[in-house]
A and B are shown apart, each in its own frame.
Chain A
Amino acid sequence: MEHTLLIENVTKRFATTLAVDDLSLAVPRGTIYGILGPNGAGKTTTLRMVMDIIVPDSGRVSLLGGDPHRDRAVLRRVGYLPEERGLYKKMKVIDAIVFFAELKGMDRRSAKSDVLAWLERMDLGKWANAKVETLSRGMQQKCQFIATVVFQPDLLILDEPHSGLDPVNQEVLRDTIFQVRDEGRTVVLSTHNMPQAEAMCESVCIIAGGRKIVDGRVRELKRENRANRFVLEFDTPSPQVERFMHSSPLFRNRSREGPLWHVELADGADPRSVLREATGLDVQVARFEHVEPSLHEIFVEHVTSAARAGREVARA
């Protein structure tokens, strides 16, 4: 089995809106995969279709090699953290989590000891016997994360896992997700927080308006999407450098940030000629680097150009 999760040409229409439009994506096993997009892009709808909570109008979902709609047993091997969280408020923390673990097939005794270990790990050990409603939202969220992961699912589906957590707990959660991945499990998470996705995900799929904008491995996406932007740094400032940087026709744009020059090359300009001319100046070149765009830049670029294309189509 190549992929843990495969979505093929899935479409879902609600009364007046097209929530997901012919979406396809493939999640490789043992990786952290991000579904990125602005609010209302269709992230949650997509994840709910994967979990068979809503049924797609057309298209196919293959989960751990099975069809979740026909074979519900595959859902037992999936941990799902919905966007809006909730645990039974009146239950003790330990009982509430053990209940979900039992439903996923664990026996009560081993569930109990595993949940306790997880609570310790998440710094919630002394809350095990407190009622859920006495915990803060952030703590409840960590509890629910434990309920999602404690039964050792093959796949974790986390809808906006970081929202509502403080920075310290965001870090705790991130480390735990890495650990889960290192144990060979697959994680699919949705977020609109690009720096976070960039720090965690090996592969991403960016969607907007229910359509896929771009997907692939983050490293490749960055390489494919890097523009003509470079950073130049010289050992010491010099008037010659100053003159070169401001007058050379090789640059379309330049800006200075301390000792660093951010430049954009003119169309057709060869980076090698830039390097050649720079090395001929009176001070040494300390750095010459092709800048890779951040996920955020790729996202903004693609989403706006997709929107522009959409408008042009509409005009035509």
Chain B
Amino acid sequence: MREVMIIIRREFLERVRTRAFVLGTIAFPVFMVAVFVLPRVMADGPVERHLAFVDESGTGIGDRFEDFVALGEATGSGNRYTLERVPGTFAMLRDSLNARVQREEFDGYVVLPADLMTSNRIMFRARNIGSEQVVRDLRNAATEAVQAERLRAAGLDRADMTELLKRVEVDDAAITGSGAEGRSAESTFIFAYIVAFLIYFITAVYGASVLRSVLEEKTNRIAEVLVSSAHASRLMLGKVVGVGSAALFQVAIWTVAIVVMATRSDLIAEGIGVPPEAFAALSIPASQAVLFILYFALGFLLFAALFAAAGAALTSEQEAQSVQMPLMLPLFLPLLVSFRVTAEPMSTMARVLGIFPLTSPLTMPMRIAAASIPPGEIALSLGLLALGLLVMSWIGGKVFRIGILSTGARPSLREIVRWIREA
């Protein structure tokens, strides 16, 4: 056991002391916050447009349209517009308007045609048509103006009608096993996705690190010296646990950061100018957190054992690169179907992926976050995962033991099977 501790310590320190670890620890939360906050902060920031306005409708709709656009009441996007009325018909003005837009006197022009009430169509030309919000704003303002005119013609008041036609919002929230109300649908998906992505990210990064360091020991013949002091299976155990503890340490730092952020979310939300609900996804019930960590730990060990065996069987960095991706595929698969899994957590696909040991470490946290899963199903999934881990350690240990000391060409698959049988 003493050797295992010495190896764990070395593996842990070697990873934690690197600049990459420090940068990664800081960069990941920053990246996550950016993913959440940036779209809200940067989503189509308010723009200003100076537009020429040709009104052929002549029914008073034009005035209303002008008011709606200028006030920004109908649009509500925060964009600011100044309209400059140009007298005359479009057919007459067309060339001069185009020229003036090209000279940058205007950003563009809007035409309300004479048959607006029947054609339901206005015209917008601009140098830069890129912002969809501008088109939406103009459509809303014209629609409101036309509707108001129609209501007036029918003898109705627009303010009353707005009140009568008000849209209904859905207040959605999941009901958890204990009967309490959980988070909303959007928030659930985001939360489940974060947890799954985090498990994937950590397992992939640290799993690859296990593979590469086993390969280094093998190609440098460090392994020969190591196994003359510690049995190969202890070497593998120390490596997997050592790398795993570095990964857990990083997760622990992030968890602390998240807890601090969650308790201070009001202040932070205010500071960066987003609604406090944006952080709702960050609060995790304790029972779920325990399950997540359990799935993460077992899943990580399973894949780490797989990667350790792969590292011992391979002979060069190039081979490692080509093998890494296929090995990671079962881990990655649940992320590809994450939308389906969180939307239909009780579907057959979600259940199957949740029970199979190679895919359950990512699938189950997503399902648990999205719905209350029967405890029996969780127990079965965890049991199979633990069993899978034992089988993988047993097989991986054999491949590791022989592979780490073998020299020469890369073994064929048949040869690896022979190692497993003979070792």
Chain A interfacial positions (CB closer than 8 Å to B):
48, 51-54, 72, 75-76, 78, 80, 82-91, 99-100, 102-104, 147
* B63 CB within 8 Å of chain A: no
Q: Is the CB of A86 within 8 A of B230?
A: no
Q: Is the CB of A75 within 8 A of B14?
A: no
**Complexed CA–CA distance, A51 and B225 (Å):** 9
Interface-lining segment among B46-54, B216-224, B293-301 = B216-224
Give chain B nearest CB distance to A111 CB in angstroms: 11
Q: Is the CB of A147 within 8 A of B225?
A: yes
Chain B: interface residue total (CB-CB under 8 A) = 21
Give chain A nearest CB distance to B137 CB in angstroms: 57
Chain A residues with CB under 8 A of B14: 88, 90-91
Q: What residue in chain A is nearest B7 (Cβ atoms)?
A: A103
Chain B residues with CB under 8 A of A84: 220-221
Q: Is the CB of B229 within 8 A of A75?
A: yes
Q: Is the CB of B224 within 8 A of A82?
A: yes
**Complexed CA–CA distance, A72 and B229 (Å):** 8
Which 3 residue pairs of A and B lie closest in terms of their CB atoms, listed nearest first?
A86-B220, A103-B229, A84-B221
7 A–B pairs (Cβ distance < 8 Å), ordered by A: A53-B228, A72-B231, A82-B221, A88-B14, A88-B216, A90-B14, A103-B6
Q: Is the CB of A76 within 8 A of B221?
A: no
**Complexed CA–CA distance, A167 and B217 (Å):** 29
Q: Is the CB of B224 within 8 A of A99?
A: no
The answer, among A52, A90, A91, A102, for a CB contact under 8 Å with B228, is A52
In chain B between 191 and 215, which residues have their CB closer than 8 angstroms to a CB of chain A? none
Chain A residues with CB under 8 A of B225: 80, 82, 100, 147
**Complexed CA–CA distance, A83 and B219 (Å):** 12
**Complexed CA–CA distance, A82 and B231 (Å):** 17
Chain A residues with CB under 8 A of B64: none
* B405 CB within 8 Å of chain A: yes
Q: What residue in chain A is nearest B213 (Cβ atoms)?
A: A88
Give chain A nearest CB distance to B241 CB in angstroms: 16
**Complexed CA–CA distance, A103 and B225 (Å):** 10
Q: Is the CB of A86 within 8 A of B221?
A: yes
**Complexed CA–CA distance, A91 and B14 (Å):** 7
Q: What residue in chain A is nearest B235 (Cβ atoms)?
A: A103
Q: Is the CB of A51 within 8 A of B229?
A: no
**Complexed CA–CA distance, A293 and B405 (Å):** 40
* B10 CB within 8 Å of chain A: yes
Identify which of B3, B219, B229, B230 gathers the most chain A CB atoms within 10 Å of its CB.
Answer: B229
Q: What residue in chain B is nearest A50 (Cβ atoms)?
A: B228
Q: Is the CB of B224 within 8 A of A80?
A: yes
Q: What residue in chain B is nearest A84 (Cβ atoms)?
A: B221
Q: Is the CB of A100 within 8 A of B229?
A: yes
Identify which of B7, B222, B225 gathers the most chain A CB atoms within 10 Å of its CB.
Answer: B225
Q: Is the CB of A88 within 8 A of B222?
A: yes
* B227 CB within 8 Å of chain A: yes
Q: What residue in chain A is nearest B231 (Cβ atoms)?
A: A72
**Complexed CA–CA distance, A91 and B226 (Å):** 16
Q: What residue in chain B is nearest A99 (Cβ atoms)?
A: B10
Q: Is the CB of B222 within 8 A of A103?
A: no
Chain A residues with CB under 8 A of B3: 103
Give chain A nearest CB distance to B2 CB in angstroms: 8
**Complexed CA–CA distance, A90 and B221 (Å):** 15
Q: Is the CB of A104 within 8 A of B222?
A: no
Chain A residues with CB under 8 A of B216: 88-89
The answer, among B219, B229, B405, for a CB contact under 8 Å with A53, is B405
- Asked, given contacts A52-B228, A53-B227, A78-B228, whether A85 binds B221 with beta carbons under 8 Å apart, the answer is yes
Chain B residues with CB under 8 A of A91: 10, 14
List 7 additional contacts besides A80-B225, A90-B18; criterion CB under 8 Å. Answer: A82-B225, A86-B217, A87-B220, A89-B216, A103-B6, A103-B7, A103-B230
Give chain A nearest CB distance to B355 CB in angstroms: 40
**Complexed CA–CA distance, A99 and B229 (Å):** 11
Give chain A nearest CB distance to B224 CB in angstroms: 5
Chain B residues with CB under 8 A of A51: 224, 228
Chain B residues with CB under 8 A of A99: 6, 10
Give chain A nearest CB distance to B368 CB in angstroms: 38
Give chain B nearest CB distance to A184 CB in angstroms: 22
**Complexed CA–CA distance, A102 and B228 (Å):** 13
Chain A residues with CB under 8 A of B222: 86-88
Q: Is the CB of B231 within 8 A of A53?
A: no
**Complexed CA–CA distance, A78 and B228 (Å):** 8
Q: Is the CB of A75 within 8 A of B228?
A: yes
Give chain A nearest CB distance to B86 CB in angstroms: 71
Q: Is the CB of B224 within 8 A of A76?
A: no
**Complexed CA–CA distance, A83 and B217 (Å):** 14
Identify which of A54, A78, A86 gathers the most chain B CB atoms within 10 Å of its CB.
Answer: A86
**Complexed CA–CA distance, A72 and B227 (Å):** 10
Q: Is the CB of A104 within 8 A of B10?
A: no
Q: Is the CB of A104 within 8 A of B229?
A: yes
Q: What residue in chain B is nearest A144 (Cβ atoms)?
A: B225
**Complexed CA–CA distance, A48 and B225 (Å):** 11
Give chain A nearest CB distance to B101 CB in angstroms: 62
Chain A residues with CB under 8 A of B220: 84-87, 89
Chain B residues with CB under 8 A of A100: 225, 229
Q: Is the CB of B405 within 8 A of A54?
A: yes
Chain A residues with CB under 8 A of B18: 90
Give chain A nearest CB distance to B423 CB in angstroms: 11
In chain B between 62 and 121, which residues have their CB closer than 8 angstroms to a CB of chain A? none
Give chain A nearest CB distance to B62 CB in angstroms: 73
Q: What residue in chain A is nearest B229 (Cβ atoms)?
A: A103
**Complexed CA–CA distance, A103 and B216 (Å):** 19
